[in-house]
């Protein structure tokens, strides 16, 4: 099993190949988080089926289901933190206020430097 992705010190993002991805809202009740993850995985399976069968309508519906699950998890849509900090979702860490932290973490060997 691979190592879990690096998380920013504030817990807002996961870092994958140097890119920030918004983390799940840690305030979600466990049951709600678990249900949303199940919905997300089911929707991703539907995306795969739709792509294999080249069903554009099913692909669109599955994409909407993925988006709804990601929003329920807090990974898309309005940010789940309340301090007014901007959202850097999908940005390269080196182009954000996390740049120095990420450089230090990468230099320490915490994350491979393939960004």
pLDDT digit string, tens, across residues 18-53: 999 999 999 999 999 999 999 999 999 999 999 999
Number of H helices, E strands in the chain: 3, 3
Q: 64 and 34, same structural domain? A: yes
Range of 114's domain?
1-23+87-115
Of 4, 5, 3, 6, give the one whose Cα is nearest residue 101. Answer: 6
Same domain for 45 and 12, yes or no, is no
Instruction: Please check whether residue 64 lies inside any domain of the structure.
Output: yes
In a domain, 108, yes or no: yes
Domain count along the chain: 2
Contact 7, 98 (CB under 8 A): no
How confident is the model at residue 107, as a pLDDT?
Answer: 86
What dihedral angle (degrees, nearest 10) is formed by the CA atoms of 51, 56, 60, 63? 10
| pLDDT tens by residue, 50-96 | 999 999 999 999 999 999 999 999 999 999 999 999 999 999 999 99
């Amino acid at each position: 099993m691979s190592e879990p992705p690096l998380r920013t010190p504030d817990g807002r993002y996961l870092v994958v190949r140097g890119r920030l991805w918004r983390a799940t809202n840690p305030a979600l009740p466990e049951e709600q988080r678990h249900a949303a993850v199940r919905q997300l995985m089911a929707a991703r399976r539907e995306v795969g089926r739709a792509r294999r069968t080249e069903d554009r309508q099913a692909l669109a519906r599955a994409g909407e289901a993925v988006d709804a699950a990601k929003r329920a998890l807090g990974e898309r849509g309005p940010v789940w933190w309340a301090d007014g900090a901007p959202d850097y979702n999908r940005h390269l860490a080196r182009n954000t206020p996390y740049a120095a932290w990420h450089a230090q973490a990468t230099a320490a060997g915490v994350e491979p430097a393939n960004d």
